[in-house]
Amino acid sequence: MAIQVARHGPGIAEVVIEAPPVNAIDVKGWFALARALAEQGADPGVRAVVLRAEGRGFCAGVDIKEMQDTEGFDALLGANAGCAAAFAAVYDCQVPVIAAVHGFCLGGGIGLVGNADLVLASDDAYFGLPEVDRGALGAATHLSRLVPQHRMRHMVYTSQNATAAELYGYGSILTVTSRDRLRDAAIETATAIAAKDPQVIRAAKQSLNGIDPVDVKRSYRYEQGFTFELNLSGAGDRLRDAFTQGGAR
């Protein structure tokens, strides 16, 4: 698991997820991602952050194999805490976060992207919450920032995905481009933001968070409570075992 941080030109930081084969993030990785985002936002030399990934897709969510291979509840509790920390780090980052999404964006990936300030995607990107099929719940809070309420419910109940083109139609994706142009498009967007007065941009980020109609942290924590209940009932283990034994990753 690797979270890479790089600088691109004046004032732009890149935080890159790279966890082969599918960017399923383990417990340590979620906390590392949270730290990287917080550190870049706190750096006075940074004016915008691009959050992207290498590999087949943006993020496949939590590492379910780690969860099933760990005795007791430590991995489950760690994944829930790590996801909450990483999602909050995107939201609380002191400068705008531009998510650049290619391929799949699933589960925890939705939590990251839904809390971003701006989203760009490649034309092969798709978004989904397969949580119901994994015996868990969560990140509907963040999905509802990307798609309308009733579409969000349909996606949660059926585990159906939505394409980048669909989200672009809702206005939640700024630009859809080819995969080979995605990073450049994200850097261009970040450059336009970085050209503004940094004190004003940081104030703008804080003010926009302050007028949000939904407290995303409290809302996500409420969702997590049902994941804990499902795990205690045995449904979580049953469906996660079926997933890992099916060889899905």
Spans of all domains in the chain? 2-180+198-245
Q: What is the pLDDT of residue 249?
A: 42
Residues 32-48 pLDDT 10s: 999 999 999 999 999 99
Phi, psi of 101 (to 5 degrees): -110, 125
DSSP-assigned letters across all residues of 67-127: HHHSSTTHHHHHHHHHHHHHHHHHHH-SS-EEEEE-SEEETHHHHHHHTSSEEEEETT-EE
Share of the chain above pLDDT 90, in %: 83
Q: Cα–Cα–Cα angle for 98, 100, 106, nearest 5°? A: 110
Q: Which CATH number applies to 2-180+198-245?
A: 3.90.226.10
Please state the rounded mean pLDDT for residues 165-188: 98
Please state the rounded mean pLDDT for residues 11-27: 96
How far apart CA 168 and CA 159 sit, in angstroms, is 20
Residues 62-103 pLDDT 10s: 988 887 777 778 888 899 999 999 999 999 999 999 999 999
Residue 13 has pLDDT above 50, yes or no: yes
Q: What is the pLDDT of residue 1?
A: 55
Cα dihedral 146→147→150→153 (10° resolution): -50
Question: Which one has a higher pLDDT value, 152 or 234?
Answer: 152
Q: What is the pLDDT of residue 65?
A: 83
Please state the rounded mean pLDDT for residues 40-57: 98
The H or E element containing residue 239 is: helix 235-245
Residue 195 has pLDDT above 80, yes or no: yes
Please state the rounded mean pLDDT for residues 212-234: 94
The whole-model pTM stands at: 0.95
Q: Cα–Cα–Cα angle for 152, 243, 245, nearest 5°? A: 175
159 conformational bin, left if phi > 0, alpha if psi -120 to 50, beta if neither: left
The residues near 106 (Cβ < 8 Å, ≥ 6 apart) are 57, 59, 60, 61, 127, 128, 129, 130, 161
Q: What is the pLDDT of residue 69?
A: 76
Residue for token pair 């809702």: 170
Residues 119-155 pLDDT 10s: 999 999 999 999 999 989 999 999 999 999 999 999 9
Q: What is the pLDDT of residue 248?
A: 45
How far apart CA 208 and CA 235 sit, in angstroms, is 39
Question: Which one has a higher pLDDT value, 53 or 75?
Answer: 53
How far apart CA 138 and CA 224 sit, in angstroms, is 6
